[in-house]
Amino acid sequence: MTMKRILVINPGSTSTKIAVFDDDKQIMAETIRHPLDEVKAFSWVMDQFDYRMKHIEETLKNKDIDVNTLDCVMARGGLLPPVPSGAFEINKEMIDYFYAAKVDVHISNLACVLADAIARPLGIPAMVYDPVAVDELEDVARITGMPEIKKASRGHVLNSRAMARKCAEEILGKKLEDCTIIVDHIGGGCSTWLVHKGRCIDCYSDDDAGFAPERCGRIQAMNLAMLCYSGKYTKEEMSRYIRGKSGLSALLGTSDAVEVERMIENGDENAKLVYEAMARSHAKGIADLASVVCGKVDRIVITGGLANSRMLMDMIRPHVEWIAPMQVMAGEFEMEALAAGGLRVLNGEEKAHIFSLGANNNENAKTEKKEPKMEIVLTNENFDKEINGDTPILVDFWASWCGPCRMLAPTIEQIAHESDGSYRVGKVNVDDYKEIAARYGIQSIPTLIVFKNGEEIRREMGARPKAAVLEMLK
C-alpha cells in the first residue's frame, strides 16, 4: 500500500492550524496567527477566504510542501445540518450551504471551502471528518421536560471519538464498534460523550453537566431563569457569562488551572472546594451516561487540556472507577484525528458519506433515524405549488449579503427541523428570484410571510426571535 500524504486545515477565530501527514506521521505543523484587528476587518467569515488562503499557500511554500504531492485535504467540518459521524466528501452542495448562510456564522464553515479550493485543481478528494454538527443521539436522549427545548448534540466530538477509537484499538484491542466508552473532554469548555458501538448515542455539553474553567455546567433551571430576568444582564451578556465567563473564572477569578492548583497548594481552602466541586460535576455526568447502558461500560476516557492535571484526575477517579477503569489521554488531537480519518477512507477502511440536503445524511448510521426536515428552496418553478397547500408554509425572503438574514437563518433552520408536520418552511433568495420578491412587495429583508392555500395570512419583517416566528404559525 503506497504512502498517502494528507494536508489538514483547522481554522480558529484568530489562527489557522495546518499540518501535513505522511500516513499517520506528521511531517509539518504550523499555527498561523491572525491579528485581531485584521480579522475584525471582515464582516462575514466567508469573506476571509482570500486572506486565509494566502497565508496557507505562503506557509506551505516556506515549509517546502509541494501541493502536487498531496493525496487528500482534510478540513475541520463546519456547522452543517445534523449528520452522522465519519467522513463527508466536500461537494458543491456543502459549499453552497455555507455561502447561503443557512447556518450559524462559524469559522469552521470556511475550512471546507479552503480545502476544496486546494484539492479540486489537483483532482484529489477534500473531506471533513466528525464535523461539529455530528448528531447520532438516540431519540429518547433528546426529550426534556419542556417540549420547546430538545437536547442538542454539541461538543468536542472530533477529539472525543478519536480518543475513544484510540482507547478501543490500542488499550482494549478491539474495534470501536465493539466497545462502549464514555469520553469526558475537559478544557476551557467541556463535553461528555457516550460512544456505544461506534456511535455517540448520548452526551452532555458544557452547559448541562460538568462545569469547566470558562463554562457554567448544570444550573438549576428556575434559579437561572430568575437571573436571566433580573435585569442584571442583557441577553448577550448572559450568553457570554454562561459560555466564556463562568466556571472557575467566575468562582475563583482565573480560568488557569495551574494557578488554581497553586492556590490550593498554598492552603486556599475555597479554591480546593471549588476544584473538587468541578471534579465531582464531571463524575456525575459520567455516571449519568453510564446509566443509559446499565453500567456496562468498557472504559472511561478523560481527555482535553485539563487531563494533564494529576490533581484533578485524582479527584475524579474514585467517583467513577466503580463503573469502569479510567484512562487518562491528555491533550487535544484534532489534527491527528482528521488525518487518521482521511487515511482510513483513502485506504478503503471507511467509506465517505455524500452530503446532500435532499438526502438522508444518516443513511450509513447503524440505527436508522428520521431524515432531518429542511427548508424548501423555493424557485419560480415550484413557488406557487408549495404555497397552495392546506398546510401553512413559512417563507423566509433573504439574501446572502444580508447580515440580519444570516442572524435569522439558524432560527429558521431550527424551526424547520423541529416541525411536527403541522407547518412547512421555505426560503426565497430575492437576488435569484426578483420576480417573486416583486410580486409580494418585498422591500426589506429578511421578510417572513406565512401562506395557506395560496393566501398570505401573516407577515413580519426583520430578524425575529424564535418565539415570535412560531407565533406566526399558530
Catalytic residues: 402, 405
Could you give the CA distance from residue 434 to residue 412 in angstroms, rounded to a whole number?
21
As beta bridge partners, residue 328 has 302
Q: Give the largest CA-CA distance in the chain.
A: 73
Lookup: cell for 395? 417563507
The SS3 of residue 353 is strand
Half-sphere exposure of 412 (CA within 13 A, CB side): 31
Between the alpha carbon of residue 267 and those of residues 60, 250, 262, 451, the distances in Å are 49, 20, 9, 66
Could you give the CA distance from residue 96 to residue 253 in angstroms, rounded to a whole number?
43
Between the alpha carbon of residue 399 and those of residues 44, 128, 443, 445, the distances in Å are 14, 27, 12, 8
Could you give the CA distance from residue 106 to residue 98 in angstroms, rounded to a whole number?
10
Other CB atoms closer than 10 Å to residue 75's CB: what's the count? 30
One-letter amino acid for residue 117 of the chain: A
Helix axes 310-320, 257-265, angle to 10 degrees: 90
Could you give the CA distance from residue 49 to residue 145 in angstroms, rounded to a whole number?
43
Other CB atoms closer than 10 Å to residue 119's CB: what's the count? 22
Residue whose C-alpha cell reads 480560568 in the numeric block: 255
Lookup: cell for 411? 432560527
Stretch (H or E) spanning 194: strand 190-196
